[in-house]
Amino acid sequence: MTKENTRPEAGRPSEEKPVKSSGNKQPLMIINLVLFAGLIVLYFLYFAGRDRVDEPAAKAHQEVIAEKVSDATAAIAYVNSERLMDDYKLAVKMREEFESEQDRLERELSRRQRTFQTEVEQFQREISAGTLPMDQAQMKEQELMQMQQELFQLGDTYRDRLNRKEMEMNQELLEKISDFLERYNQRAGFDFILGFSRGGGILYASEKHDITDEVLQRLNEEYEAGR
C-alpha cells in the first residue's frame, strides 16, 4: 500500500498549480511487515551471543557445527517469522502505534499543504485582478516561497521521525525475542533456531521442527505479564 507525499512544486508561487485532492492518502513512508521480519534469521544460541571469541575458538566452533550437520546430529528448530510478527502482541501493538503516528503526521502535513495552496490561489487571483500593489505583491511572493520551503523541511522532519521510531521498535522487538529465545533454549537445547518465511533463504521446512506455536504462546504470556 504505497503512498507518496504531495509536495508543492518548486518555483515562484505565482506559477503554482492547484494541488488536486483525492480519496487516496499519501503517507510519508511505506508500511511493510518486512521491517519486522528477519529478526531471527539465524540465531546462534550455542554461544548465547554474549562474549566475543577469538579466531581459533570461532573456527573450532564452526568445525563442531559442520560435523554435527554432516552427521545429522544437530538439533534444529524454526519459528515462522510471518506468524510471529502477525500474532506476537508486542509486535501488533508496535505496528498499531507506528501506523497511528504516521497517520497523524500525514494529516498535519496535508493540512499545512492545503493552507499553502489556498494562499497561493488567493495571491494569483489578486495578481490577475490587479488589486495588489507591486511592493505588496513582492512581499507576499517572498512569504509564500518561505511557506513552501518550510513545507519541504517539515516533510523531511516527519520522515526522519518515523524512521527513528521504526528503528527503535525494531531494536526493542529484537531484544525481546532474542532474550526470550536464549532463556527458552536453556531448556530446549537446540543448536539452531531458524527464522522461516515464504520467499526467504529457507525454501522448505518440515512442520515437525516448527516451534512457532509454543514460542508465540510463551512470548504473549510474558507480554501480558508485563515482562
pTM: 0.63
Distance between CA atoms of residues 196 and 181, nearest Å: 15
β-sheet with 192-196: strand ranges across: 42-43, 192-196, 76-80
According to the model, what pLDDT value does residue 69 have? Answer: 54
Grid coordinates representing 15 are 506559477
Highest mean pLDDT among 9-23, 65-79, 181-195: 181-195
The CA distance from 74 to 84, in Å, is 24
- 121 pLDDT more than 80: yes
Residue 94 has pLDDT above 70, yes or no: yes
Which helix (H) or strand (E) element contains residue 51?
none
For the chain, how are helix, strand and coil distributed in percent, rounded to 5? 60, 5, 30
Does the pLDDT at position 30 exceed 50?
A: no
